[in-house]
Amino acid sequence: MNRKPIFDAVRELLGRPFSQGEVDGIDEAITCAEDGLSGAKRSLGQPGNDLIKRFEGCGRRRPDGQFEAYPDPGTGSDPWTIGWGSTGAGIGSGTVWTPAQCDARFEQDLQRYAREVSDAIGDAPTTQNQFDALVSFHYNTGAIATATLTKLHKQGRFAEAAREFGKWVQAGGKGLPGLVRRRAAEAALYEKA
């Protein structure tokens, strides 16, 4: 498809040239429309960002201002976590990051988790608050692709989906009060209009 007429028409309506961010956004929206999607890929909103940061915290700050990895509170070992809840290859006992490294990895992780949630729910009708709650859930559990919560959401059974959050409160076979609080906050955000 020749996109130039679309860009020319929108530019004329605005009465000004585009910023690069606007060009990228319009280009992505056209690509999504061509692919038969219901709009551009979703991204995490501020309520979701705030919820994740509130529960993840940027823990284990050392006196020198850097952050060290810590073991999973449920298992006492793997997965090791650092910064804003980052886990994965290269993170273990002895891993130390600067605050800038913690923040950069958080932004990278958010994009990945938002993309994975977007892929999992497809074109199911989803409010921004529902999406944010699902990203927080996935950021913590990694289970968006297999959770009954996702299946119910895709079927539009939102009240039932909201109740599913409360089933994900264990780590290492133990119920954790922090997970109970997080799942309640996610469910409340999911149900918020």
Is residue 191 among the annotated active site residues?
Answer: no
The one catalytic residue in 22, 28, 34, 56 is: 56
Q: Phi first, then psi: give them for residue 67, nearest 5 degrees.
A: -120, 140
- 113: pLDDT strictly greater than 50: yes
* pLDDT tens-digit map of 42-97: 899 999 999 999 999 888 899 999 999 999 877 788 889 999 999 988 899 999 99
How many whole angstroms separate alpha carbon 162 and alpha carbon 139? Answer: 17
Indicate the CATH number for domain 41-191.
1.10.530.40
Q: Which helix (H) or strand (E) holds 116?
A: helix 99-121
- 36: pLDDT strictly greater than 50: no
Q: Do 147 and 62 meet the contact criterion of CB atoms below 8 Å apart? A: no
* pLDDT tens-digit map of 141-175: 999 999 999 999 999 999 999 999 999 999 878 88
pLDDT of 172: 77
Residue 151's closest CA among 139, 168, 134, 136?
Answer: 134
Range(s) within the chain of domains with CATH label 1.10.530.40? 41-191
